[in-house]
Structure 1
Amino acid sequence: MSSRNVTYCLSRDLDFPFRVKITALEGSKQLLKESTKFTNPSTLKKLSNFQQNSDLFATAVVTLDGLPLTLPITTPYTSFRNSRKWNEWLELPIKVNQLPFTSKLHITLWEFDDSKRSIFGEAELNIFNVEDDCTLKRGRQKLDLILADNNTINLVKSTQPTKMDDLEKLIKKHENGDIISVDWLDNLTFRKIEQTNRAQSTDSQFLLFIDLVQFDIPVVFSDFKYPPPQIPTYIPTEQQPPLNQPKINTGKSSTLKIYDPEQYVSDPIEQKYRKLERSHKDGPLDRELKPTAKIRDELNKILNYSSVQELSQYEKNLVWKFRYFLINNKKGLNKLLKSINFSDETERKEALKLIYKWVEIDIEDALELLGPNFKDITVRTYAVERLKKAHDNELELYLLQLVQALKYESLTSSSSIGNSEYSIVELNESTSSSMLNASLSPLSQFLVDRALGNDRLGSFLYWYLNVESKDKPNSVYKQILDHYLKNYTNDGLTKEISLVDSLVKLCLKIKNTKDTTPKKIEALRSILDTKFKSFPPVKLPLDPSVEICGTISSESSVFKSSLSPLKITFKTTDGGEYPLMFKVGDDLRQDQLVIQIILLMNRLLTNENVDLKLTPYKILATGPTEGAIQFIPNSTLASVLAEYHGILPYLRHHHPDPNEELGVSDWVMDNFVKSCAGYCVITYILGVGDRHLDNLLICPDGHFFHADFGYILGQDPKPFPPLMKLPPQIIEAFGGASSPKYNMFRNYCFVSYSILRKNSNLILNLFEMMRDSSIPDITIEPDRAVYKVKEKFCLDMSEEEAIIHFQNLINDSVSALLPMVIDRLHSLAQYWRA
């Protein structure tokens, strides 16, 4: 390929050393008088003080931000007579493709001062055209030399271009071949240029001429693109991650960012101290060790840390030192396990001895041990043993997270349990033989065993595993699912699978029809009357406690949407009706997670005798892009306000009571106030976004609830979203901000917020187990998801401070103007879209 066909090349492709030619030095300075020899004899040591062409030598080095990148390269000795000319090429120990964009060539001229060398002058040049076209400089270069004796030179250079500057640009074009060469004309021109140069030169100015490699085409700067390093948020000090490749910014930035591969390597001094602290054998002295009052306060502070709080090295050593003192504290085991270096076999064995001597931990702490931060098979098996004591109803609340925790056991096999000296096998009377199945981990075998004994639990386990196995075909979920189906003997699950397959085909058929929505509704009802009017009883996957035997076509419909979700009303075997919405083409796993957390929070509140009348509708994802949603008859606040011009008129219309102050039955207002308080607190903690009047729903009996959880953990498509969504129409329905109902609403908010703060560890552990799931708003920042929830609990505040904080949130939400404007804009957009 000829040079005419190439416009430029990249600097990263030039894999050869950077070279520079030190050509000549022009200029002179005023010599010292002869009398100075007698008045100041020391000046004789510098030859340049009395000789115009004293011997000099040059060194060249590449620098970045004033710091050298290479060793200096020196010109050989040259004896000058009439002029200072070196004409020497220097090859620097750095390649062109290794040069940073803002690197400079620094040249120093040296002379001898008696027996030592001293600096005569210095010059510097940007290797790349930083402010122009980002190309590598080439050809002849003229540098201003700054003398070491600043008194002999004027360092202030005029900014006005001279005639010689313009001529030098033309000379460069001539050297690059851009100007046609004519010998006789070139001789005359260069003679005239030399005369002009002499006329403009001054005695106080030194010019250093150098030559860079003359390339035929421009060389544009381009750096290598390194993959971003995978740096985890939390890495224990005892673990050493693999070395990361450096990441270097490209472009005109002057910052060179290099990720230190040793930044997570443990401090050797700390490692030595740790070994000295924990190297002694288990003895009676450790068992009798008691903390002082001050240390006891520090231990209590550590025990009260949230489950996601990292421990410092001092705190880890403190927990280890007083491990026998903490053996009767159920909150201490997890803190001890966080303090263990599992790569140290001696320390690991000594610590694992204490696991089964420890007082029994709570379920929420057992869930933490099944999270991503604990990989030891003995620790995880102990957590499974604790889960065995949980009731099936309680286990159902955590089943979604337990299925996600299976991925953290994919690299461990229960067959390796026997390799540990202090393993679960020591509990021979409490260890089931099925737990030692070589093909499954302890947690997976436990879930399969419990699912085989409880059809309701088995139904949910199947659908959770089915979604994950379809989303990740080569994961451990497929193996567990096959094992579960192999041991399943009932035909109930087979009927559920057949029902869902039929619904998927029906939904796709209606969705792919190009007719209008009324035509789709007509087609749906016709198919239901023909094929699904009645069928043998089958348990509903969405709610296995409900058994269905047919459909009611007149109560079924198709929603006006691009996905055309179906509303199908099923007949139950007890003579009732069960409406649900089935859709294909949408991932329902995030909504499913939010509903599961709401159900859990509702259980936590009712355990404290606080019933906030929550109405969490059921959601089940039957595949990565399909699922069912329970349909609860309701009205959006937007439609209620449009038709009734207020929430109170809507409630009065359905349940009037003239004897009450607000004209609404007392039990209806009680439902409304309590449910508003419950969802206000829960949506704040979960960071539910995209709240508007079309996804705030209300039932005729006063139950208020939220729908559409497409944005959680602070994500929101609208600018400046409020931390809490509390429309003024709701406050107006209470009777105003000074009404008794509003005060009751606030009290319920404070009580429920306090209860949920006390159970924050359980909620945080569940989100930690979902860290590596496919939930969209968790995958954005997996390592930050649990901390976003933690921030909402305000665990660093006291109980009183947290209540005041929540009171301020309510006040800010009530007085906020921007959400009202956004709601109005949303309503207008919906109107024009309709």
Structure 2
Amino acid sequence: MPSAPDEAQAGVTTRTADHSSCSGGKEFRFILSQDISLPLSFRVNRFVPDRTLLIERSAPVLFVECTLYIDGVQFGLSTNTRLKSLGSPYCWNELVTLSAKYRDLTPFSHLAFTVWDMSSGEDNIYIVGGTTISLFNSKNQLKTGRLRLRVWPNKMADGSLSTSTPGKVPKTKREEIERLERVANKYIRGQIPHIGWLDNLIANAADKLEKESERTENLHSSLIVELCSFEHRVVFQEYGAKLHTSVPSSLVDISKNKLVIACDPEIGRINPSEHKHSVLAWSLARGVNDREMKPSSVDRKLIQNILKYPPTRTLNVDEKQLLWKFRFYLTSEKKALVKFLLSVEWSDIQEAKQAVALIPRWESIDVADALGLLSPVFQNEEVRAYAVGVLERASDEELQCYLLQLVQGLRFERSDRSRLAHFLVNRVHKEENGFQVWQSLIEQAELTAQLRSIMKELSNVKHDAQTKGRILEQLFSGIFSELKNFSEPIPSPLAPTVLLDGIVPEESLVFKSANYPLCIAFSTVNGGTSKMIFKKGDNLRKDQLVIQIISLMDRLLKSDNLDLHLTPYQVLATGLEEGLVEFIPSISVAKIIQKTGSIKSYLQKCNPDEDGPFGITAQCLETFIKSCAGYSVITYILGIGDRHLDNLLLQDDGRLFHVDFSYMLGEQPHRFAPPSPPMKLCKEMVEVMGVNTMQDSSPTVARHTTYYESPATSY
């Protein structure tokens, strides 16, 4: 569900209405719509068609047109989602941001959604249906959360005040799943009390009902959207209007049951006397230029606490003045530079000059700290140039850990010819010819486009994975036969140092999965084989980010002499819902348990040793325990969800690793799923460690649990 940024960043003021005199001392905290300068955003989740569409249209290619209407008149241009053609339900999960801001809305603002079908070509677009939803309810409160909207077949969405395509239907005509969606929204907003044991029971039943509704033929088409949520309720107030302040109970005339409204026109304005005093005090404190001044023990303690603040924490006035006062003393502390630059008043030209002049005298900072100076918080070109200078001293291996963030940093540069842009381009050309780099990128893009075409051909075939595998081999022998031997070797998109000279059809296959990903085997110029997986229908950008974090964690752990045998395989997102993944020879824990009964039996078969613990080589057992500990801690820190045994893979040498990171930071695949355990550690894993439960206090468990404590302490 899309959520609003921090209220302070959005310029939002939280209001409190005190109803103590009439509602038992309860407070109603809310935000006025006029205070929200953020653009209107929402997420188009998925479209669930009815039986008519599935019968009439064999292979629809759908997109959703989103339009905002204010007071019955279209406001701004319409926005379209991407095309979707993988079959029912059609899931976009796409965030849409309009040009209008929340403060521009009125109580009669509507969002109109029209579903179109382009399967017959751009010249013959078919209207699937439309639906309209009001953004404010009858109490003039902004609607939030997940909504299931009824789609009216063969009608464009009507954005007029008396719409003919209402997404909200009367209670008497709602289906059970629609009623469930509305109750779930109230539960998420806290309008229904949370009862732990009862919530888990209801969640399982609700999840089952939702799955059944998607499997069965629906009587009505529906579009599921998620509106942006804020910390408090958003109440409509016209932009520019003044809010009446809360009234003391002494002003309430109880005898006449009337409320006397008192409005203070000075509320919200700056007090000129206080403002002038604060400016003078700030100038006085900033005017200290004693280069030999040293902080007292109390000030040193305060400064050390400030240096431990996370990067996103905002410094208050006193903390900024403290850092500025002892700026000369702090030049020997490299960790203090970023905090010092946050304390600078960059709008003051003289102060900015002093700060820039002090940077060269500072102790050289680390690469990780230099990344913080390339964020949008720092717009000064000298500061950003200094950060790039630090990056120039980093090795290619270290820069690889931050490459995604460096490319994103280009968005915050004022010019395309910035120091950061020159640095990235020059670093690429340092060891390779520029023309060869671009030629390789073009060849890789063409290869990806051909794999995309193969995936599209297979998606039109309604068979199992084994049959699709035979068809894949026929395609390589037919219309895609040129892929068997490339005219010139192509650098692998996942490992550019590996040169590919063709596809090996005999070793390529189709995985048995929901989206049937391809496992393509390539022959290399040195006579070897390189395998990679091409996936369509998954957002691999999340996987790429998580793997980048795991690679960085692995680097940090090894710098502390702690090798947990992690497997940060390569991932490259080539589109919104497609990409390439490095193939690691392994088998899922679920299949291991199904075939051999336990992980211990599998490791005994792959790494037998009569003298080793449990009949397994000591090195294999150590590798398994360390990798299990490492991924348990990492997935806990990142809040990785959907951790079932099919997403845990095991290599023959005992390395355990996780795959499929579509749900992170506490997300779960099912909306009504009960809270998941903090980390995936099943009894079969614990059994390999030689105990029946992790509560065992034996020396064996004590030695093994140190591997869980070590990475946690390092982070």
Displacement of 1:695 in angstroms is: 0.9
1:432-472 deviation per Cα after TM superposition (whole angstroms, max 9, x unaligned): xxxxxxx42322222122122255xx9xxxxxxxxxxxxxx
From 524, 531, 535, the equivalent of 2:482 is: 531
Residue pair 1:636, 1:696 contacting (<8 A) in 2 also: yes
The alignment status of 1:386 with 2:399, answered yes or no, reads no
Of residues 453, 463, 466, the one that matches 2:430 is 453
Q: Which amino acid aligns with 1:408?
A: F
1:726 aligns with 2:703: no
**CA displacement 1:349-374 (0-9 Å, x = unmatched):** 22222122222111111111112322
Contact in 2 for aligned 1:245/1:261 (Cα 8 Å):
no
**1:504 alignment partner in structure 2:** 452
Distance 1:246 1:564 in 2: 58
User: What's the secondary structure of 1:617's corresponding residue?
Assistant: coil
Residues 57-206 of structure 1: matches in 2 within 5 Å?
none
Q: 1:653 aligns with which of 596, 600, 605?
A: 605
Give the aligned residue type for 2:460: N
Contact 1:676 1:745 in 2 (8 A): no
C-alpha contact (below 8 Å) 2:345/2:351 kept by paired residues: yes
1:59 matched to which residue of 2? none
Compared with structure 1, are the counterparts of its residues 674 and 265 closer, same or farther at alpha carbon in structure 2 (3 Å cutoff)?
farther
User: Conserved in 2, the CA contact under 8 Å of 1:680 and 1:724?
Assistant: yes
Match runs of 1:290-309 below 5 Å: 290-309=294-313
Give the paired residue count: 467
Which whole-Å CA distance do the structure 1 matches of 2:228 and 2:282 have between them? 33
Query: Residue in 1 aligned with 2:417?
Result: 440
Aligned residue for 1:606?
Answer: 558
Deviation of the 1:563 alpha carbon: 2.7
Alignment partner, residue 277 of structure 1: 282
Q: If you compute each CA radius of gyration, which structure gives the higher value, 1 or 2?
A: 1
Q: Give the 3 Å change call, closer, same or farther, for CA 454–225 of structure 1 in structure 2.
A: farther
Candidates 518, 524, 531, aligned match of 2:466: 518
**After superposition, where does 1:228-627 map in structure 2 within 5 Å?**
269=274, 272-273=277-278, 275-279=280-284, 285-409=289-413, 412-413=414-415, 439-454=416-431, 491-529=439-477, 530-535=481-486, 536-627=488-579
- Alpha-carbon distance between aligned partners in 2 of 1:578 and 1:389, rounded to the nearest angstrom: 33
- Contact preservation (8 Å) 1:226, 1:245: no
Between the aligned partners of 2:335 and 2:607, the Cα distance in structure 1 is: 49
In structure 2, the residue corresponding to 1:694 is in which secondary structure?
helix
1-side partners of 2:269 and 2:594: how far apart?
A: 59
Structure 2 Cα separation of the partners of residues 639 and 290 of structure 1: 65
TM-score normalized by the length of structure 2? 0.60
Q: Tell me, in whole angstroms, the C-alpha distance in 2 between the residues paired with 1:399 and 1:275.
A: 44
1:668 is matched with 620
Structure 1 residues 550-599: Cα deviation after superposition (integer angstroms, max 9, x where no partner): 22212111123443321111112222221111022322100010011111
The answer to which structure has the higher helix fraction is 1
Relative distance call for 1:660 and 1:267 in structure 2 (3 A) is farther
Give CA deviations for 1:213-270 in whole Å, capped at 9, x if unaligned.
Answer: xxxxxxxx9666779999999xxxxxxxxx988899xxxxx9x9x9x99879899747
Partner Cα distance (1:227, 1:665) in 2: 60
Contact kept, 8 Å, 2:564 with 2:630, in 1: the verdict is yes
The answer to whether the Cα contact below 8 Å between 1:323 and 1:336 also exists between their aligned partners in 2 is yes
User: Mapping of 1:28-67 within 5 angstroms?
Assistant: none
> Counterpart in 2 of 1:715?
667
Distance 1:489 1:559, change over 3 A: closer
Deviations 1:511-551 (A, max 9, x none): 23344433321121123343322223111001112211122
Given the superposition, is the C-alpha separation of residues 730 and 671 from structure 1 closer, same or farther in structure 2, using an over 3 Å criterion?
A: same
Distance 1:663 1:267 in 2: 81
2:240, 2:408 → 1: CA distance?
A: 28
- Once the two structures are superposed, residues 295-338 of structure 1 have per-residue CA deviations (whole angstroms, 9 ceiling, x without a partner) of 12222222232323332221111111111111111111111111
Aligned 8 A contact 1:587 1:624 in 2: yes
* Secondary structure of the corresponding residue to residue 565 of structure 2: coil
Q: 1:666 to 1:352 in 2, by over 3 A?
A: same
Contact 1:317 1:339 in 2 (8 A): yes
Report if the CA contact (8 A) 2:285-2:325 is conserved. no
CA distance in 2, matches of 1:678, 1:244: 54
- State the Cα distance separating 1:271 from its structure 2 match: 6.9
Alignment root-mean-square deviation, CA? 3.5
Q: What is the distance in 2 between the residues matched to 1:532 and 1:334? A: 51
Residue 659 of structure 1: CA displacement?
0.9
Partner amino acid, structure 1, of 2:503? T
Could you tell me which runs of 5 or more consecutive residues in structure 1 were left unpaired when the two chains were aligned. Answer: 1-62, 68-220, 234-242, 249-253, 414-438, 459-484, 758-834
Distance 2:324 2:489 in 1: 58
State the SS of the aligned residue for 1:724. coil
| Residue 741 of structure 1: how far off its partner (Å) | 4.8
Counterpart Cα distance in 2 of 1:294 and 1:327: 19
TM-score, length of structure 1 as denominator length:
0.52
Once the two structures are TM-superposed, the CA of residue 498 in structure 1 deviates from its matched residue by: 2.2
CA contact (8 A) 1:673 1:741 kept: no
